[in-house]
Amino acid sequence: MKRGLTLGVLILMVFLAAKLPDKIWHQPQHFPKPAFNFKERPLEMAKVQLGRYLFYDPILSKDNSISCASCHSPYNAFAHTDHTLSHGINDQIGNRNAPALFNLAWQKSFMWDGAINHIEVQSLAPITHPKEMGENLADVLTKLRQSSFYKSAFKQAFGDTLISSAQLLKAIAQFELTLVSANAKFDQVIQGTDTFSLQEQKGLAVFNQYCKTCHPAPLFSTYEFANNGLAPDSLLQDVGKVRISQLAADSFLFKVPSLRNLTYTYPYMHDGRFKKLGEVLKHYEKLFPLTSNNKSDLLAFLQTLNDKVFVFDPRHQFPKIILEANEGIKD
Amino acid sequence: MKKLVCIWLLFTSASIKAQDSLYIKFVPIFNQFQVEPSQTYPYLKDSISFQSLKFYIGHIQFFKGEVLVASAPETHYLLNFEESTSQLIGLANKKTFDRISFELGVDSATTVSGALSGALDPSLGMYWTWQSGYIHAKIEATLYSKEAQKTELILHLGGYKQPFNTLQKLQLSLVQTDTLSIGIDLTNLISSALALPQNQVMSPKPEALILSKQLANAFKILAK
């Protein structure tokens, strides 16, 4: 009887171990509960990997020239730094600055104006945008179905070779959800494994006084919409959230960006108007009485939000395997 | 021109036996004509043709009095009148009922649940990509006028958030028959849309709300 029980427990343990995914995602202890429902849609390694291939593969664009990573580079915390505005197929310039991608699991809506309500449907926007990847979903699926590499990657991830749009979208989302930035000096201080310098401490105090309401720790954003006093750009005429909601009260509201990884994610703001953090603080001088000491302390504190471990994490980088996979594809 | 000829839509698989099945057919109508693709229909002094007619029908339920007696097997069906003319919508177990209710469009709970498949596959041309949300109803038509230039009418009616949640809930009382014919009389909707300063409505906004309500009123049980 007892032996039977032990055996049962053993079998159960083996079973659980087999079920347990590799540690693809874990909840940082000092983070709030994510907005994404991982219970309902657990991450699976094969799907995450497929998503990573797709994220880096220009096969998603009309002329096979632009991948998601063209605008969201891992070394820039998945933002884009060459241009203030995004840069798509046929050298077309878009209307907005490509945001950094991390901690997406905590966001309730996506895009600077909150146009997208779920991470799984976000990729539809760049894939079909004429100035981004300029493709249509049906053609992307046709290309993927012709690739033996993707046939087997989809089979591994989803158990069939259907290659449906839902599978494509879910896989990309699964990869993006693994992009968690929770390893900056700030995080170490919270966890008690590091300490702030005096200047960083002073910077934190300034931050708490003026910035915390919209950019609260540990995500450094409410991910709500706000107006931080930027003058509207006369050329782009970007009105922000009102474009989506059609409510006058939402005019010139933009999603509050996180302040993690700022060293990597320049230029700043929805239109990339500031190249340097100094310019950003100069802007905030108009709203808050920031002395020059305040500003240098603040800059020192913001540096503690840079997460090198995340930015150089090899698990998020270019998967060389797709080079072989695409040998057959001509532009 | 032809009288109302059936356009059949598929509800369930072929396994349904004909005798205990219920079929629903939706029939688009304009100015008393049944609408068929690429045909031209008279409208006042002008003429009109329809390029696209697609509707989402969701959560179809059958009632006897206040009691829910049956629901359609799928949550959503995409009616596409650009395509085939030979599909059926059917319910396996025929129950007695005197009322049918359904939604015109895709409800907000469904709209916020990520990438979906089947009738809700976003590649079916009924999903806005630049912002989240399904197009509940797509009506594209061209008005040919002798005096003026031709007018392109493009109605992509959708919206899942207040105050522009354009989903419509419909209830139709009826006398039970083996085949329920539901007409969609577009005449009033088209004249309202042509009267708008802009003949293109392609995002959730007040015009979309007004036209969606009008479209809901266009659904009528057709006499046998």
Distance between the two ends of chain B, CA-based, in angstroms? 19
Domains of chain A: 38-181+311-324 (1.10.760.10), 185-306 (1.10.760.10)
Q: What percent of chain B has pLDDT over 90?
A: 66
SS3 sequence, A248-278?
A: HHHCCEEECCCCCCHHHHCCECCCCCECCHH
Q: How far is CA B149 from CA A37, A120, B142, B145, B194, in A?
A: 52, 43, 11, 6, 13
Per-residue pLDDT, averaged over A233-239, amounts to 87
For B170-185, the pLDDT digits (tens) are: 999 998 888 888 999 9
Interface contact flag, A169 B122, Cβ < 8 Å: yes
Interface contact flag, B115 A121, Cβ < 8 Å: yes
For A139-158, the pLDDT digits (tens) are: 999 999 999 999 999 999 99
Residue B13 scores a pLDDT above 80: no
Shortest distance, CA B124 to any CA of chain A (angstroms) = 9
Q: What are phi and psi of A213, to 5 degrees?
A: -55, -40
Distance CA B15, CA B166 (A): 35
Give pLDDT, residue B2: 36
Give pLDDT, residue A24: 83
Give pLDDT, residue B101: 96
Do residues A327 and A60 make contact, with C-beta atoms less than 8 angstroms apart?
no
Whether B204 and chain A come into contact, CB under 8 Å, resolves to yes
Helix/strand/coil percentages in chain A, nearest 5: 45, 5, 50
| Segments making up each domain of chain B, as ranges | 21-221
Shortest distance, CA B159 to any CA of chain A (angstroms) = 10
Q: Which residues of A52-62 are buried (b: 16+ CB within 10 A; e: fewer)?
A: bbbbbbbbbbb
Contacts with A247 from chain B: Cβ below 8 Å = 163
For A127-136, the pLDDT digits (tens) are: 988 777 878 8
Q: Which of A196, A195, A270 is nearest to A232 (CA)?
A: A270
Interface contact flag, A124 B129, Cβ < 8 Å: yes
Please identify among residues 101-160 of chain B the ones whose CB lies closer than 8 Å to any CB of chain A: 111-117, 121-123, 127, 129-133
Is the bond preceding B73 in cis, omega lying within 30 degrees of 0? no
For A276-307, the pLDDT digits (tens) are: 999 999 999 999 999 999 999 999 999 999 99
CA angle A272, A278, A284 (to 5 degrees): 80
Interface contact flag, A166 B121, Cβ < 8 Å: yes
Q: Which residues of B173-199 are buried (b: 16+ CB within 10 A; e: fewer)?
A: eeeeeeebbbbbbbeebbeebbeeeee
